[in-house]
Structure 1
């Protein structure tokens, strides 16, 4: 496999973590809520997914690799979504119902989520997580094409197939969800109403849109999507291993930055996540890079985001601006 293809495959894999977090955050911000708790939500999704996989795989202790693929996928995703919904519900209750400051609430949720992840991952039976990771990473390229005809591995042209077919189900799920969210936001009445809530909740309320319902729905759905990013990192990128929540927390902050980079458009987030993924793995792929150079290169996504923010501010075009009511609580009695 060429170095370029290897880097691209790794960038797409790690980019799915950014894509999940970014897509979920876009959905929440379109409703007018800036959730700085995305790193915490991703941590909730991580230990939830690992818990589900561990519970299911424990039933196949004699031969873990015999566990059915669909069962491992379902339990991992289900528990990841479930725990992410818990985090989203906490945030929604505090910011929508009790109208707490969104920035403070989000930061508190990040602290709470990372602490919970470190604690629960320390007591979860991680014996089967590596097996669950192998099952979740089963793909058409390695486990169907090459396994049925090993001689194809000597064909240089076959490597290009890995760009499209060399990933587990969670990677494809990230892209599908981003496309679905983009279609819902731009092409459906639900998306139009949600964007109206984010732009001017008082006007939306006046025309009969249930502002509270849309805010709750956006926060819960966005949290469920974001939480899958943590699961994707642990199961797809690091093979089911766990050290601490610091890396996932870093991915969460980058996912929030990616929202600005892709100007609140889920389709652009697909491209942006690939760029961020490539920049993330590039320092480790280049030989002879010093520690200082590596840390400097890790700053590039943030610098690019700041540049994009400056450019969009100068342009002033409404389509590249955040929702008008982003971060502002809605008081119906002041309508």
Structure 2
């Protein structure tokens, strides 16, 4: 039940904020509107506050997001984060093509966005492909990798505060100041006026709603938000059912979270008609783009070890190096593809 409730909170938050709409996501990546950026920055700031509070009070003991190497022999910084780089590029490309990410595609499904159905199909296919064909071949990130060999191995920094050799709380405070500065600059120089007229609430309030869903996840599940794992679990379970290997189904908890997100989005659009997309917005993405983009967003997210919520909201809140790198590559690739597509 906690997974369903948490999913419903996240789905409702995405829908209320309006960032689930393909037009809002596409306009961010062609830099014509900055609703998504303002919402994302506010959500990250609020999430960081809640995650830090739970960690400091010992209510949770969440590790940082690990790096995602593509080779078992990876030792250098870039090779250890190759999956974050390549996966982030795929995620950003898929978002700019489909106008969706692993979380928003579920909100689109609940809100009845036509392109969201195709993106969902591509996402489920990617979840199956990753789990069945690739995940078992991927190396696991070692927590004691060294810069050298033999004795005296140096642990690779997984967090920003480890990398900068600074106290955790001081790094969190600096993170919050940085995010607040970015929000202020975005409000002044990257307005979201066009986006606000399409949404229920202003971007900053929408971001606060998303941060609140992080609080609900921490309070009910003692873990952070993330959507892409749901597709891997769904693809794996469906494949097990097709093969008749029911004993291979280990869990449905992430699928329940997925169902909660769909239900949350559906409830908001049912009670607040202004939150729903228009016919023009709903058909802005073709079925082929939806299918291809849906595949890329989930396959890339699994390669990177997280998506825009897992890395972008939760991972940044934990000051994970891998999350900063993945998010940077996602927005960079999405911007390049978005501008090239006009």
The answer to whether TM tops 0.5 is: no
Higher helix share: 1
Higher relative contact order (Cα pairs below 8 Å, separated by 6+ residues): 2
Q: TM-score, normalised by structure 2?
A: 0.34
Q: TM-score, normalised by structure 1?
A: 0.35
